[in-house]
């Protein structure tokens, strides 16, 4: 026989379970309807969503256009939207088929496969005139509309970036908008690239949709009408006018893929303004590898002989150049026999043919009078700072155009400065080895700075943020360097040296002589260490050399025996000149 205490205990347990169940029901039905669980789910909205058939015409997120007004991140095309719940036998199939120029039987087959709202899969693109004719039929469940869709990831992959759902990021960045209900935890947000940096201006505050409500059996709740819902503010969504040239971006991507560049990329700047015209990085990221494949163009890379430009600038300004002096370029910086055996060369020839011994010797001579010269001149050429545009705009104190851009370095913070004072360490640093790491973006900007004779400017990726009616909300003014820069004479000497790299028959860039215009530039090969069989291979330059318009850097981070950088540079440069003449 069960004791009274045990019965009391069982009764308390059951009562507790019932009270807990009652509280749970009350929490779902009455208390937390607007913010249920740690994910802050709006149960009312979710309930309505289960009884709603919808088709999104525009997700309400802002978009990017290129410098000429061409769409970059989205496509806008006429589409025919179908709501399958409203398909009726009395639809004028023959008339619809005639307008869209398909066979009636094919149209019937298309309609039979719809299980949820979607668009007709017509092989050819319909015209706005056909779209208007469809709408004139006034068929419930069939609507022609300009539909906006995001472009697939491969185009301008890293610079534009991607969007996706990220409840944690939404809670972190937009608590005010969440409280006001203008965004939800499912609102798509920028994950990287310009989509991330410009997210405060691009984030959607309302979609444009066709909406149709049904009951549990799929029958219409509010008649046969499909409702149209859009943002209430006609000035939204905003759009960003970038500095990118769509044709130039396509050209760049075409040739780095054609030559099989697996890791690395290219950067193209306008010489006069230092505005970004195109940028591509490989490997591409996908939705699964979005944070694993960083943008190689804004990340530190070992520059190799590209850094000899810095050493040359310091030697010129410190009056260490003697035109008749010969350097033994049969030796390397270790004093041993060099495999290239370049012979005795003067300074000009050493730069064109990239003799390491010359620049190792000069570096040590400069150090005797100025031990801090390496950092000083690397900074004067803009290589150690972030090169992307940054500043305070609107209500954002630290706004940057480029996502996760890294600083350059000549010395590792993990080592003591004394470790870089030996003659060998100075020589290694002077030729861009040891711990020197620079971003391709910074190197491209250095080339633009030299080409125009200074001053150094921050690289802009966008011109303005605009309202839907084209009125400018924000414009990005040029940011020029205020600190000390190189003298005009040094700039002139560097320009001449860069031209000789291509003009000299033994110069490392002589293969570019075949172009119908003069190129100025510098090659670079950087060893990644004894454990790696692959090197970094560079060519950085500008063109035309006599009237510079474009600064271009190409880098192969998995260089084997095939030199891809020179052919890629050549093909891109040739086509860019054709494009610029068309414009």
Using CA atoms, how far residue 255 sits from 191, 244, 508, in Å, is 27, 17, 21
**191 by DSSP, 3-state: which?**
coil
User: At 500, which helix (H) or strand (E)?
Assistant: helix 488-503
Strand ranges, E, within 218-326: 227-229, 239-242, 264-270, 276-282
Other beta carbons less than 10 A from residue 409's beta carbon: 16
User: At 81, which helix (H) or strand (E)?
Assistant: strand 74-82
Query: How far, in Å, CA of 83 to CA of 22, rounded?
Result: 40
- Residue 502: DSSP 8-state: H
Identify whether the C-beta of residue 336 lies closer than 8 Å to the C-beta of residue 479. Answer: no
Query: How far, in Å, CA of 73 to CA of 151, rounded?
Result: 6
| CA-atom Rg of the chain in angstroms | 31
Identify whether the C-beta of residue 454 lies closer than 8 Å to the C-beta of residue 274. Answer: no
Residue 343 region, left (φ>0) first, then alpha (ψ -120 to 50), else beta?
left
Query: How far, in Å, CA of 30 to CA of 240, rounded?
Result: 43
- DSSP H helices in 259-328: 308-317
**35 by DSSP, 3-state: which?**
coil
Q: For this structure, is 305 an active site residue? A: yes
Interaxial angle between packed helices 356-369 and 423-430, expressed in degrees from 0 to 180 and rounded to the nearest 10: 120
Q: In what order do the strands lie in the sheet with 550-559?
A: 276-282, 264-270, 550-559, 535-543, 520-527
**535 by DSSP, 3-state: which?**
strand
Give the residue among 406, 384, 439, 389 at the shortest CA–CA distance from 265: 439
Identify whether the C-beta of residue 559 lies closer than 8 Å to the C-beta of residue 251. Answer: no
Query: How far, in Å, CA of 272 to CA of 551, rounded?
Result: 10
The tokens for 564 are 């891809």
Strand partners, 75: 149
What's the residue count for the chain? 583
What number of CA atoms fall less than 13 Å from residue 455's CA on the CB side?
10
| Active-site residue, selected from the candidate residues 305, 427, 485, 523 | 305
What number of CA atoms fall less than 13 Å from residue 61's CA on the CB side?
25
**551 by DSSP, 3-state: which?**
strand
Written as one string, the DSSP assignment of 337-360 is B-TT---EE-HHHHHHHT-HHHHH
Residues with catalytic roles: 305
């Amino acid at each position: 026989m069960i004791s009274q205490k045990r019965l009391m205990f069982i009764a308390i347990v059951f009562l507790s379970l019932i009270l807990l169940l009652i509280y749970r029901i009350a929490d779902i039905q009455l208390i937390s309807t607007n913010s249920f669980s740690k994910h802050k789910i709006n149960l009312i909205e979710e309930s309505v969503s289960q009884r709603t058939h919808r088709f999104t015409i525009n997700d309400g997120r802002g978009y990017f256009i290129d410098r000429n007004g061409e769409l970059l991140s989205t496509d806008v095309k006429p589409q025919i939207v179908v709501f399958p719940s409203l398909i009726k036998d009395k639809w004028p199939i023959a008339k619809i088929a005639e307008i869209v120029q398909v066979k009636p039987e094919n149209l019937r087959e298309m309609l039979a496969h719809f299980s949820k709202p979607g668009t007709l899969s017509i092989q050819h693109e319909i015209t706005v005139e056909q779209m208007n004719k469809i709408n004139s039929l006034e068929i419930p469940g069939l609507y022609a509309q300009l539909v906006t869709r995001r472009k697939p990831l491969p185009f301008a992959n890293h610079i534009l970036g991607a969007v996706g759902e990220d409840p944690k990021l939404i809670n972190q960045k937009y608590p005010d908008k969440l409280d006001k209900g203008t965004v939800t935890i499912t609102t798509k947000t920028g994950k990287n690239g310009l989509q991330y940096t410009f997210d405060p201006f691009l984030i959607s505050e309302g979609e444009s949709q066709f909406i149709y409500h049904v009951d549990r059996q799929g029958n219409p709740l509010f008649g046969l009408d499909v409702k149209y819902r859009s943002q209430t503010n006609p000035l939204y969504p905003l759009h960003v006018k970038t500095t990118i040239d769509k044709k130039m971006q396509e050209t760049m991507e075409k040739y780095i893929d054609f030559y099989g560049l697996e890791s690395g990329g290219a950067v193209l700047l306008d010489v006069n303004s230092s505005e970004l015209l195109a940028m591509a990085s490989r490997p591409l990221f996908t939705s699964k590898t979005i944070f694993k494949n960083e943008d190689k163009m804004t990340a530190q890379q070992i520059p190799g002989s590209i850094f000899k430009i810095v050493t040359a600038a310091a030697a010129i300004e410190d009056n260490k150049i003697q035109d008749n002096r010969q350097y033994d370029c049969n030796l390397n910086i270790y004093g041993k026999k060099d495999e290239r055996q370049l012979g005795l060369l003067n300074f000009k020839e050493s730069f064109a043919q990239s003799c390491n011994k010359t620049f190792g010797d000069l570096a040590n001579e400069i150090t005797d009078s100025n031990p801090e010269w390496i950092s000083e001149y690397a900074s004067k050429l803009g290589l150690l700072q972030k090169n992307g545009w940054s500043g305070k705009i609107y209500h954002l104190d630290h706004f940057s155009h480029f996502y996760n851009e890294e600083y350059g370095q000549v010395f590792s913070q993990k080592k003591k400065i004394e470790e870089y004072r030996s003659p060998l360490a100075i020589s290694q640093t002077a030729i861009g080895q040891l711990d020197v790491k620079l971003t391709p973006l910074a190197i491209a900007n250095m080339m633009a700075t030299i080409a125009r004779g200074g001053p150094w400017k921050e690289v802009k990726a966008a011109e303005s943020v605009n309202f839907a009616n084209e009125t400018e909300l924000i414009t990005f003014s040029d940011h020029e360097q205020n600190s000390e820069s190189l003298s005009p004479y040094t700039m002139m000497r560097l320009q001449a040296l860069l031209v000789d790299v291509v003009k000299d028959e033994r110069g490392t860039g002589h293969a570019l002589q075949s172009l119908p215009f003069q190129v100025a530039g510098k090659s670079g090969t950087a060893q990644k260490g004894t454990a790696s069989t692959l090197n970094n291979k560079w060519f950085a330059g500008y063109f035309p050399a006599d009237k510079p318009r474009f600064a271009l850097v190409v880098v192969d981070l998995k260089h084997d025996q095939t030199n891809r950088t020179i052919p890629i540079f050549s093909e891109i440069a040739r086509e860019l000149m054709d494009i610029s003449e068309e414009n």
